[in-house]
């Protein structure tokens, strides 16, 4: 059987896998049943694997012949949401839902494992399959990297995918270069001096300082950052003051900075600090600023993106290949792997054609068209065949 026919024969099984996972979602770092399910499927098919990153799994497909090593990553965690889809296989876990499609990602990677295992005589080198926990909270990718899974053997290239409900099933979306932004958390505390509201001259108004800081930081993307390099700064929390007639002595601001360029990120961070300190000092107050880098940006390797474009042309056809014109300022922890090996990431459509109001990812009404499962497997297998295939 060709591998394409084999993948088609997996269709029902993949839907069952996905529905089982959908029914039993688990939050980040608590994916114990999910981990066991993955281990059971791999064991049943005689596929070598180890537990990793506490609640994840890494599987190995070894051709027994020398060659490169390719890694493929699926994230496996769910979100703290109460499902509102009415599906017969809806979540049985109260307040937890696979609303980001990671159930589909997991089923797809299991399908890829079965397919590659069945056809490993057609490969050189080896493949590592990362069933990665904790994408939504604090980066299971970082844990897998720290535990050494990008080495022994060294991974030469890594790919990943995400389902997208704004795209019809049967489409693949990608782009060269930046696909997702980096994240930096912003924590600012403005220190003033309390006094009676009737006598502000005796204090230093932290609320007034905060107002100027907020206005000033919102000009960084338009006046400090280069126009061709996307960046966005958003402050989502503000907290300060104790009583209407007391000049506030403390205001706390919390926000996030997103960029796709590390040098630009460092420049903006420097400006956040100098401006905030300067504005506070000008008023006779002070500021404590904590900027903490989170996920790195996801930058698609140009050569691997070309390979994926060839795969998409083969799998879905040129007319269903969507070239994304701009990066997303959302984050994806896949970027951690790319600090160790070139990588590329792509999106597959999961909207039923003709449905134009498909709920977005992270919505309690999110649903996906399971026809995307075999598209995902075919893309991953096509990539491996192009990179490691013997013929």
**Rule CB under 5 A: which residues touch Ni ion?**
100
Q: Closest approach of Cβ 48 to Ni ion, in Å? A: 27
DSSP single-letter state for residue 264 = H
Q: Is 99 helix (H, G, I), strand (E, B) or coil?
A: coil
Nearer to Ni ion, 285 or 343 (CB): 343
Q: Closest approach of Cβ 133 to Ni ion, in Å? A: 13
Report CA dihedral (148, 381, 345, 133) to the nearest 10 degrees: -50
Nearer to Ni ion, 138 or 288 (CB): 138
In the chain, what are the helix, strand and coil shares in percent, each to the nearest 5?
Answer: 35, 30, 35
Q: Closest approach of Cβ 165 to Ni ion, in Å? A: 11
Q: Closest approach of Cβ 101 to Ni ion, in Å? A: 6
Rounded-to-integer distance, Cα 177 and Cα 190, Å: 38
* Beta carbons of 55 and 138 less than 8 angstroms apart: no
Rounded-to-integer distance, Cα 147 and Cα 242, Å: 47
Nearer to Ni ion, 100 or 150 (CB): 100
Rounded-to-integer distance, Cα 72 and Cα 157, Å: 9
* SS (HEC) of 215-227: HHHCCHHHHCCCC
* Beta carbons of 129 and 113 less than 8 angstroms apart: yes
> 332: closest CA among 165, 22, 149, 102?
102
Q: What are phi and psi of 248, to 5 degrees?
A: -70, 135
Nearer to Ni ion, 252 or 324 (CB): 324
Nearer to Ni ion, 38 or 100 (CB): 100
Tell me how far CA of residue 164 lies from CA of 114, 170, 376, in angstroms.
Answer: 24, 11, 12
Nearer to Ni ion, 52 or 100 (CB): 100
Q: Closest approach of Cβ 162 to Ni ion, in Å? A: 6
Q: Closest approach of Cβ 361 to Ni ion, in Å? A: 6
Nearer to Ni ion, 77 or 205 (CB): 77
Nearer to Ni ion, 39 or 361 (CB): 361
Q: Closest approach of Cβ 321 to Ni ion, in Å? A: 22
- Rg (C-alpha) for the chain, rounded Å, is 24
Q: Where are the beta strands (DSSP E) in 10-138?
A: 48-52, 56-62, 69-75, 126-132
Question: Pairing mode, if any, of strands 48-52 and 343-351?
Answer: unpaired
Q: Which residue is nearest to Ni ion (CB)?
A: 100
Q: Closest approach of Cβ 330 to Ni ion, in Å? A: 9
What tokens appear for 333 in the block?
A: 């922890």
> 285: closest CA among 321, 248, 325?
248
Q: Closest approach of Cβ 331 to Ni ion, in Å? A: 10
Nearer to Ni ion, 100 or 108 (CB): 100
């Amino acid at each position: 059987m060709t591998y394409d026919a084999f993948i088609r024969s997996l269709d029902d099984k993949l839907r069952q896998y996905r529905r089982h996972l959908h029914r039993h979602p688990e939050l980040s770092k608590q994916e114990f049943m999910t981990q066991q399910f993955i281990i059971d499927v791999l064991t049943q098919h005689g596929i070598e694997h180890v537990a990793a990153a506490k609640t994840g799994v890494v599987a190995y497909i070894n051709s027994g012949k020398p060659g490169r090593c390719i890694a493929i990553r699926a994230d496996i965690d769910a979100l703290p949401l109460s499902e509102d889809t009415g599906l017969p296989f809806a979540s049985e876990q109260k307040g937890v839902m696979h609303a980001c499609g990671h159930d589909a990602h997991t089923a797809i990677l299991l399908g890829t494992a079965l397919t590659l295992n069945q056809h490993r005589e057609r490969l050189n080198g080896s493949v590592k399959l990362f069933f990665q926990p904790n994408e939504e909270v604090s980066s299971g990718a970082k844990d897998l990297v720290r535990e050494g899974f990008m080495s022994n053997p060294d991974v030469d290239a890594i790919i990943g995918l995400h389902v997208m409900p704004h795209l019809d099933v049967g489409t693949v979306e990608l782009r060269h270069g930046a696909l997702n932004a980096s994240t930096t958390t912003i924590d600012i505390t403005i220190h003033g001096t309390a006094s009676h509201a009737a006598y502000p001259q005796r204090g230093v108004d932290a609320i007034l300082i905060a107002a100027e800081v907020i206005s000033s930081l919102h000009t960084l993307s338009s006046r400090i950052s280069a126009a061709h390099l996307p960046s966005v700064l958003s402050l989502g929390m503000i907290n300060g003051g104790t009583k209407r007639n007391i000049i506030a002595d403390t205001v706390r601001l919390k926000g996030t900075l997103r960029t796709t360029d590390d040098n630009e990120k460092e420049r903006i961070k420097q400006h956040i600090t100098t401006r905030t300190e300067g504005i506070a000092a000008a008023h006779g107050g002070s500021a404590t600023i904590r900027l903490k880098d989170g996920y790195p940006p996801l930058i698609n390797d140009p050569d691997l993106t070309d390979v994926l474009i060839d795969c998409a042309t083969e799998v879905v056809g040129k007319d269903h290949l969507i070239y994304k014109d701009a990066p997303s300022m959302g984050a994806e922890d896949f970027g951690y792997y790319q600090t160790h090996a070139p990588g590329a990431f792509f999106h597959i459509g999961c909207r039923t054609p003709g449905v134009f109001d498909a709920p977005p990812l992270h919505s309690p009404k999110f649903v996906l068209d399971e026809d995307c499962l075999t598209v995902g497997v075919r893309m991953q297998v096509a990539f491996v065949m192009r990179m490691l295939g013997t013929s």
